[in-house]
Amino acid sequence: MMQPQELVARVKGYDPGVDAALLERAYDYARKAHAHQKRASGQPFFSHPLEVAAILTEMRLDEATIASALLHDTIEDTSATRDEIDRLFGEEIGHLVEGLTKLKRLDLVSKKAEQAENFRKLLLAISSDIRVLLVKLADRLHNMRTLEHMRPAKRRLVAEETLEIYAPLAGRMGIQWLRDELEDLSFRWLEPEAHRTITHRLEELRRENRGLIDEILAALEAKLEQNDIKAKVTGREKKPYSIWRKMENKQISLEQLSDIYGFRIIVENVDDCYRALGVVHTTWRMVPGRFKDYVSNPKQNDYQSIHTTIVGPRHQRVELQIRTQRMHEVAELGVAAHALYKDGVNGGGNGAADHAETNAYQWLRRLVETLLEGDNPEEFLEHTKLELFHDQVFCFTPKGRLIALPTGATPIDFAYAVHTDVGHSCVGAKINGRHMPLVTRLMNGDEVEIITSDAQTPPAAWEKIAITGKARSAIRRATREARLKQYCELGRRILSAAFERIGKSYEDKLLARGLHRLPQKSEDEVLAAVGRGELASDDVVRAVFPDIEPRRPDAARRALRNRRQEASASKPGRRKRSGTQARTGRREEGWFSLKKVMNLKFRIPGKSAGQQDDARRGIPIRGHRGDVPVEFAEGGAVPGDRIVGSLTRGSGIRIYHIHSPELERYDDQPERWLDVTWDVDESRAERFPAKIVVTALNEPGTLAQIAKVIGEADGNIDNLRMLHRAADFTEMLIELEVWDLKHLNEIVTGLKARPAVSRVERVFR
């Protein structure tokens, strides 16, 4: 076990001014606190926090972080308290240890909903001080290194969680070596056979290529030296997990990979990066499509390097990374490598605040902002995983501002990355000067200009197009707000009518009087509840005016009854059923021809199944545009019909034909009736549902004649059902989709003209 002097010596190697006494006190305190505890392996428990501290010295972290690592299990697993830690080691270390204690209590190895909520808590904890995350990552790394001592089921869950959350987080923070090791350890336990196979094959390749790596290194060093470029050239071997993932994604064999061996050229400054690139490209042939410049366009985790692939000695493909020493430190250590962060900590500043300028930390802060806006935890976890795993594309605004987005991002994601208000008002986009659809996938180097309009609000369908968590979250929030606004306006109109019935004028401020008598906490919540049908308007009236009993006059009821009577008076007389049923005897083959197609759906070509199956579609209703759900009642209605609306509890507005028998249920609830009229957009073709009952002869070809009449009239049969069967006639219910009332009447007239059809009647049941 490492002694305190050895730990202090490690820290002094990169920080000569370290407070050795502080680290020794933390060492002794933690060792005594965990003296009687053992790990699953049988080793003293203190070996774990000591190894975590040792890992952090490899990341060259400050003394407070190292001390916190030694103490990170004391509050949770021993009798130590936060007050005691503060008194002995200072509030800064106490704050870090408490943050780590909270994280330890999170069980991310759990079912999805719990894991999502705990992941939110994890990000909230680490957002206050990035050092909490660094200690947590080191803690996870040591646990993964000793995973063989866990039960197999628990081992697999921990490995999955590490691969899904902790390894990507390490990558986003720019700590590449830590990500590589976490991924490889997880791969070892999740896919043991694949890990063994790839490891064995790599050993064979090393033997086969013995001497090749030295030859390539020598050739690179010689060429750079000839051009007076001081450089350190090193070789590296791709990790088994990276190899396996690439083989899986590209469906290729290990032998087909061109970058199993890679080489790094580390130079003194940025100019030398591009000089070295010129030497390499003029000496060896470059592989097309394999060049990436992350020096001028750094990744979101601050990674910088020039990547290229050449056909080098022995016609071997060689992947090269060219970077400065400073870039190399950032590439390996990520946020821990930033002098700005270390200076802030050593100078007594707030680590999180001082580190806010790095891209990696900005990403973390944006993520925390997203979760604080109240997204569903499971959706948040899903979107975060998408962002963790996606590669990036780099696009530009017309003014040259660089916007980094996940691969597959659209102009909608770009607009929200610029600013939430830009996303909300987006109506179109120009990509490289050309108008392009908002569903277009952006490519590296695209210049994107977002076209905006103050009248625009984001459609809910955008959520399925956007792929970034920020865009989806903002769209959902805007959709909720728009729906709430619509429900509030609807509730306001209902309450205005209710107040008028008792001789009072409605004002929003009056609701404050009755809030203590209602379950809602604010005026807007009351209005929305009334609008959704969850709160009766009479209850609100009684809450505001407890001494006045709401009157329920029959005026509204009479108005609806009058409208129905007027419509009935103007309706053509029904065609009486005649004795034409005796025109033919029963024909068994005809009856069977109808029986065979009972309950089958008829489709008109050119219309998707999804469009035709949706029997509850929204319709444009004057005065109710937006996100208030609008649906048809049973039996449907078409433009040209006399209609009435009813407020349904929790479902929005339901539209009824004036003759719908369902309206009788609401005769005693006039506050739920809405006076609505059609407001159909002529430029937008849309079909509407209607039902007819057809009585026809049982003979071959009858059903074909009916379908032909409807099809030739451009109607759509959505469903067909046999209702009643007599000796010679069958009564069938046909659910249609038509453009308007005139179109429906044309179909009915065409059907009545057929000799095989006895009667056609529209129904609303």
Cα 691 to Cα 718: distance, rounded to the nearest angstrom: 10
**Residue owning tokens 């590439």:** 331
Report the DSSP beta bridge partners of residue 265: 233, 322
The candidate with the shortest Cα–Cα distance to 159, out of 138, 181, 187, is: 187
CB 20 within 8 A of CB 67: no
The candidate with the shortest Cα–Cα distance to 575, out of 354, 702, 758, is: 758
Helix (H) or strand (E) holding 507: none
Cα 737 to Cα 397: distance, rounded to the nearest angstrom: 46
Cα 183 to Cα 186: distance, rounded to the nearest angstrom: 5
Q: Quote the distance between the C-alpha of residue 675 and its chain's center.
A: 39
Integer CA distances (angstroms), 598 to 324, 583, 621, in order: 76, 24, 35
Instruction: At 648, list the tokens.
Output: 């349904």
Q: What is the CA radius of gyration of the chain?
A: 36
Integer CA distances (angstroms), 17 to 8, 11, 62, 65, 339, in order: 11, 9, 10, 15, 16
* Residues tagged active-site: 76-77
Cα 38 to Cα 47: distance, rounded to the nearest angstrom: 9
CB 653 within 8 A of CB 629: yes
The candidate with the shortest Cα–Cα distance to 448, out of 461, 427, 434, is: 434
Helix, strand, coil % over all residues of the chain, rounded to 5: 50, 15, 30
HSE-CB at 50 with a 13 A cutoff on CA atoms is: 22
Cα 166 to Cα 69: distance, rounded to the nearest angstrom: 17
CB 103 within 8 A of CB 127: no
Integer CA distances (angstroms), 477 to 130, 380, 460, 468, 512, in order: 28, 13, 10, 14, 26
Q: Quote the distance between the C-alpha of residue 375 and its chain's center.
A: 10
CB 122 within 8 A of CB 106: yes
Integer CA distances (angstroms), 564 to 559, 567, 568, 622, in order: 9, 5, 6, 21
